[in-house]
Copies of this chain bind each other. A is one copy, B any other.
Amino acid sequence: MSETSGQGGARKQGDSIAHRVPDLGALELLLAVARLGSLGAAARELGITQPAASSRIRAMERRLGLALVDRSPRGSRLTDTGALVTDWARRVVEAAEAFDAGTQALRDRRDSRLRVAASMTIAEYLLPGWLLALRAQRPDTAVSLLAGNSASVAERLVTGEADLGFVEGLDVPPGLDSAVVAHDRLIVVTAPGHPWARRRHALAAGELATTPLILREKGSGTRQVLDAALGGLARPLIELSSTTAVKAAAVGGAGPAVLSELALGEELAMRRLVSIPVEGVRLRRELRAVWPTGHRPAGPARDLLSLTRGPSPTTPPANR
């Protein structure tokens, strides 16, 4: 085993995961085998021949060093480890499907039946999921996506370039009607080594306002909400133009940052960042669907809108 030498010597950063993880086609094939209970049936579904599927699954087992499938003359079932691996594979494929839905919407600028304009945070974290759900319900709805800030979303709606918008700011741009589709909280985070991470009591609003923070640029929805909550006082330590850049700086230990909880799922779970409780500030904000006043969403826009209502009143925020 272990064709790649230097296994014990701690990954020297080369050997990207692409060499250790089967490609998406193989993972998809594995899911099909799990669902259909037969290599041949899975092959048929994916439009390849049975020997191709057989060899591909075998190659995957060899690469992983794990027996995934129990073959028998009456079909194939997953082994126990195969079931576990398949569950992990499903996550990868689902992320790929979201990627596909998102890029497809970005691409289809023209001749789409539904043109959506969304602010960055929503486009990044929520829209791909919504688009997948919409595709599941109305497979023939072609959707196009324009991402920008709140102002550009509003402009695109009033000029008729978009049918439905999503914004995350504090106030609804003039000329638009809106409906709340989700809630979001801003969270103060630091690297685990930061002194704030060891505090025993919540941070006071005043302290937050007087401490230089890693922030999104002025004008971003996130910054807008924070400034309003603190009374326009947020002091920037650095200003960065993307959520990702802010996260990276915070993980690197540059200082405390303020970010949407939507952006922080993974980082908090893996303790790359820790959340700092704050009291005396309202960092909750609403994510809204918007449309030109009077033009109530109809057709595809209405379908999408009806998908975005919170899953259920009693369900937790269901971030991610």
Residues of A within 8 A of B (CB): 8, 10-11, 13-18, 20-21, 23-25, 27-28, 34-35, 45-47, 64-66, 80-81, 83-100, 102-104, 106-107, 120, 123-124, 128-130, 132-133, 136, 139-140, 142, 147, 187, 202, 242-244, 248, 261, 265-266, 268-272, 274-277, 307, 311-320
Q: Give the residue name and chain of the B residue nearest to A148 (CB).
A: B80
Does A139 lie within 8 Å of B23, measured CB to CB?
no
* A318 CB contacts on chain B under 8 angstroms: 265, 268-269, 319
Chain A at the B interface: SS class: helix
Chain A to chain B: the 3 pairs with minimum beta-carbon distance, closest first: A18-B25, A277-B314, A133-B270
- The winner among A21, A136, A320 for most chain B CB atoms within 10 A is A21
What is the bound-complex CA distance between A248 and B87, given in angstroms?
A: 13
CA distance A135 to B142 in the complex (A): 42
Distance, CA A24 to CA B65, complexed state (A): 20
Contact in complex: B84, A275 (CB < 8 Å): no
* Contacting residues, chain B, for A261 (C-beta < 8 A): 316
Contact (Cβ within 8 A) B140 A10: yes
Q: How far is the CB of A35 from chain B (nearest CB, A)?
A: 8
Q: Would A147 and B28 count as touching, CB distance under 8 A?
A: no
A137 to B274, CA, bound (A): 15
Q: Report the copy number of this chain in the oligomer.
A: 2
B271/A311 in contact, CB under 8 A: yes
- Shortest distance between the CB of A249 and any CB in chain B (Å): 12
Known: A17-B28, A88-B95, A91-B99. 9 other contacts (CB 8 A): A13-B45, A14-B47, A34-B244, A64-B103, A81-B147, A85-B106, A88-B99, A269-B318, A319-B319
Q: Chain B residues with Cβ under 8 A from A136's Cβ?
A: 270, 272
Is the beta-carbon distance between B270 and A132 smaller than 8 angstroms?
yes
A110 to chain B, nearest CB (A): 11
Q: Is the CB of A202 within 8 A of B314?
A: yes
Q: Which of A100, A104, A120 has the most CB of B within 10 A?
A: A100
Does B277 contact A312, Cβ atoms closer than 8 Å?
yes
Output the nearest chain B residue to A21 by Cβ-Cβ distance: B96
